[in-house]
Amino acid sequence: MQPSPSSSLAAEASAPSNRLPIAALAGLAAAGFLCIVTETLPAGLLPSIAAGLQISEAMAGQLVALYALGSLLAAIPLTSWTQGLRRRPVLLGTVICFVIGNTLTAMAESLSVVLVARFIAGCAAGLAWGILAGYARSIVRPEQTGAAMAVAMVGVPLALSLGVPMGTFLGSLVGWRGSFLILSALALMLIGWIVVKVPDAPGRNGESRLSLLRVLRTKGIVPILLVILAWMTAHNILYTYIAPFSTTSQSRVDLVLLAFGISSLVGIWLVGRFVDRLLRLMVLIAIGSFALTAIVLSIAADQSVAVYLGAVVWGLGFGGAGAMMQTASADAAGDGVDLAQAMVTTAWNLAIAGGGAIGGALLTQGGTSMLPPTVAILASLAFVIALAARRYAFPPGGRAQGHR
CATH of domain 211-398: 1.20.1250.20
Buried-exposed string 213-237: b where 16+ CB fall within 10 A, e elsewhere: eebbebebbbbbbbbbbbbbbbbbb
C-alpha 135, offset from chain centre: 15
Q: What's the CA angle centered on 367, arms 291 and 156, to 5 degrees?
A: 50
Segment 325-353 shows an average pLDDT of 81
Q: Can you give the pLDDT at residue 366?
A: 82
Kindly tell me if the per-residue pLDDT of 243 is higher than 90: no
**Mean per-residue pLDDT over the chain, rounded:** 84
Between these two residues, 132 and 213, which has the higher pLDDT value?
132
Max CA pair span of the chain: 75
Kindly tell me if the per-residue pLDDT of 4 is higher than 50: no
Tell me the backbone φ, ψ of residue 207, rounded to 5 degrees: -75, -30
Kindly tell me if the per-residue pLDDT of 41 is higher than 80: yes
Residue 23: pLDDT band (50, 70, 90) is: very high
Q: Is 54 left (phi over 0), alpha (psi -120 to 50) or beta?
A: left
Segment 303-332 shows an average pLDDT of 88
Name the least confident of 62-66, 161-165, 301-305.
161-165
Segment 315-337 shows an average pLDDT of 83
Name the least confident of 32-41, 151-160, 273-282, 369-378.
151-160
Q: Can you give the pLDDT at residue 153?
A: 76
Q: Can you give the pLDDT at residue 207?
A: 52
3-class SS at 85? coil
Segment 379-403 shows an average pLDDT of 81
Domain ranges of the chain: 21-209, 211-398
Residue 205: pLDDT band (50, 70, 90) is: low
Segment 292-317 shows an average pLDDT of 91
What pTM was estimated for this model as a whole? 0.75
The architecture (CATH level 2) of 21-209 comes to: Up-down Bundle (1.20)
